[in-house]
Amino acid sequence: MKEEENLEKAFKNFQGSFDIEEPAGGHEQRFMEKLNAANQTVSFNTKKSLWKPLSIAASIILICTVSAGLFFNNATTIEARVAEISPEASQTEFYFANLINEQVKQLVSEGTPETQKIIDDTLNQLRKLETNYQVLEQDLLNGGNTKLILSAMINNFQTRIDLLQEVLSQVETIKNLKKYNDENFTI
């Protein structure tokens, strides 16, 4: 009841202030012409214009995600397929890879200004040997001579290990020579 009283009171307060006049002649005609003209013009809705760049960005993100997933899945698939062909090769690869990684860490930690050039050259050679190893893996998957390819893969690992051991020995010699020269240097 109170609401009705408030409404009646509000209408009484506004009485006389409402515009109750009829519009001028031809008003409806002019209004319809403007309405029809507005329907014929093309208006760009900002909500629609934002969808296009957002949909392009979402598409790019989706493509990148799918590509990355396929790339990493493919890398895993190669390792799994090599393991299917030769489980021993997979175990040998794991052993040699760990040994090589440990020696690379040791080599990098031994770096000094005097040894940096030889270390950089060695890391470059190791990258080339890794690329060759990946080619051998692909050859194995493509059905090449299994025994010959497995032998070449093991030889590749052994070459990397021998290279690392030789360079570690040279780095140690360089460090000892520098230490000896520093001790014998007199002013």
Q: Provide mean pLDDT across the span 166-187.
A: 81
Over residues 82-117, the pLDDT tens digits come to: 666 667 767 777 888 888 889 888 888 888 888 889
Residue 136 has pLDDT above 80, yes or no: yes
Q: Full-prediction pTM beyond 0.85?
A: no
Q: What mean pLDDT comes out for the span 109-131? A: 89
* Residue 163 pLDDT class (50, 70, 90 cuts): very high
Q: Where are the domains of the chain?
A: 87-187
Strands (E), 53-101: none
Residue 22 is predicted with a pLDDT of 74
Query: Taking a C-beta distance cutoff of 8 angstroms, is the pair 111, 133 a contact?
Result: no
